[in-house]
Amino acid sequence: LAYLCEGFHDLMPRSVLRAEGTRSGERDLAAVDLELLIGGLPTLDLDEWQQHCVDEVVEANPQLSAWFWEVLRRYGPVDQAKVLSFACGSGRVPVSGFAGMSPPFRISLLGFQTPDNLPTAHTCFNQLCLPPYDTQEQLHKKLSTAIHAGGG
């Protein structure tokens, strides 16, 4: 086991795992960060993601649904993977793509919450739950806070 750990640390130095040398206030690596470092950055097809998504928000609040997909497209590949990981527990999709996700990725509206709340998720159900945000920038800020808030 010691040789396995030594080999792992040859590839992933302790300083990287502890995020040594980072600016004050930054946190250590979260599980999703480690997953992305080891497994590489996934290529996420946002058109396929949207096509195979069960979007429960679009009927009740079509503007919020449109904002979500616009925000996702504004994100870079790392943050897109973090949204997927936040909602599904992994930043990667099955070999068969989003069509092979079981259960499918789902977006739900939390109409009983206020726009001050962060999004929540049910990873066992691949479900992202959004409060009824008033603006696209509010959605962007709250979703960014949620995906960078530590988790893992």
| CA 117/CA 142 separation, integer angstroms | 8
Q: Which helix (H) or strand (E) holds 80?
A: helix 77-88
Amino acid in position 109: L
- Please measure the distance between the N-terminal and C-terminal CA atoms of the chain and give it in whole angstroms: 24
Amino acid in position 76: G
Which residues are catalytic, by number?
124
| CA 102/CA 4 separation, integer angstroms | 34
| CA 128/CA 29 separation, integer angstroms | 23
Find out whether 49 and 105 touch, Cβ atoms under 8 Å.
Answer: yes
| CA 31/CA 22 separation, integer angstroms | 17
